[in-house]
Amino acid sequence: MTEHRAAPPTTAVAASRPAARALHATKVYGREDASVCALDDLSADFASGQFTAIMGPSGSGKSTLLHCLAGLDNLTSGEVFIGDTEIGSLKDTELTLLRRRRIGFIFQSFNLVPTLNALDNITLPLAIAGAQPDGALLNDVVSSIGLTDRLKHRPSELSGGQQQRVAAARALVSRPDIIFADEPTGNLDSRSGAELLGFLRAAVENFAQTIVMVTHDPLAAAHADRVVFIADGKTVDEMSSPTADGILDVMKHLGA
């Protein structure tokens, strides 16, 4: 694997254990002649306090990897860890609690509750867990998404970009160990997408948040600290301090 534009990690990131990691991850869908290998003995670490983008051609396995890391899908073989916890050995209830307490999600489709206003959507995971939000953090997050005057509005009264920022804030206010974002700018126009990516970048820098994002967009991936490239279910390259042009060069070589 070739390292592009390598930059030494910060001491804090280098010294910390990975927020998530996959070890010899294999995922096969179907059986025998109809089987498809989405992940093929893939191993990768995702550092704490870092913004990592996962990229690859269509069908490369990037979304499958994200879903397995997040405990939304099971591996056929191999292991996935959140911190020191191997999630494949957890019972359903234990896995549900881990996802609720330690993982945040941002999806392309927003997944907001239409009958709740923006503020209630942001605090919903905490309410489900029977916990109260950290007032200072909530204020900081609400301020950073720029929707202070829209908190009483329901999703139907917000633009797509505003809805996605609400979804991002919801993922952040419970202080998860890691946030997984699956094509979070896919349904947004370029301006709204840039605003969301700026918010995610600020979450890493201001709140020491860990983010792992799947994207097909080199401009989006350029906001990350690191890009991991996947092809045919394997990690094939990575880039530190990425640029959109550098990402495009790698993707061209991958046939994307």
Q: How far is CA 256 from CA 57, 151, 152, 204, 238, in A?
A: 5, 40, 43, 28, 15
Measured between alpha carbons, how far is 243 from 227 in angstroms, rounded to an integer? 10
Residue at 56 is within a domain: yes
Q: Is residue 206 part of a domain?
A: yes
- Sheet of 178-182, strand order: 3-4, 234-240, 226-231, 51-55, 211-214, 178-182, 103-107
Question: Residue 207's domain is classified under what CATH number?
Answer: 3.40.50.300
C-alpha to C-alpha distance for 115 and 210, rounded to whole angstroms: 30
Asked whether residue 118 is domain-assigned, the answer is yes
- Is pTM beyond 0.85? Reply is yes
Give the per-residue pLDDT at 63.
94
**What φ, ψ does residue 50 adopt, rounded to 5°?**
-130, 150
CA-to-CA distance for 80 and 88, rounded, in angstroms?
7
Name the residue with tokens 């009958």.
Answer: 115
**The predicted structure's pLDDT at residue 8:** 39
Q: What is the pLDDT of residue 5?
A: 41
Q: Is residue 99 part of a domain?
A: yes
Residue 58: inside a domain: yes
Whether 150 is in a domain gets the answer yes
Specify the residue for token string 């990975």.
Answer: 18
Helix (H/G/I), strand (E/B), else coil: 252: helix
Alpha-carbon distance values, 189 to 31, 127, 161, 186, 239 (Å): 40, 31, 8, 8, 26
> Can you give the pLDDT at residue 256?
61
**Six token digits for residue 189:** 């126009």
DSSP for residue 58: T
pLDDT, one tens digit for every residue, the chain (256 residues): 444 443 334 434 444 679 999 999 999 998 877 889 999 999 999 999 999 999 999 999 999 999 999 999 999 999 999 999 999 999 999 999 999 889 999 988 888 999 999 999 999 988 988 888 888 889 888 887 788 899 999 999 999 989 998 999 999 898 899 999 999 998 888 888 898 899 899 999 988 999 999 999 999 999 999 999 999 999 999 999 999 999 999 999 887 6
Structural domains in the chain (count) = 1
pLDDT at residue 65 in the model? 96
Pairing state of beta strands 211-214 and 51-55? parallel
Q: Does 156 fall in a domain?
A: yes
Residue range(s) defining the domain that contains residue 185:
50-72+90-253
Residue 27 lies in a domain: no
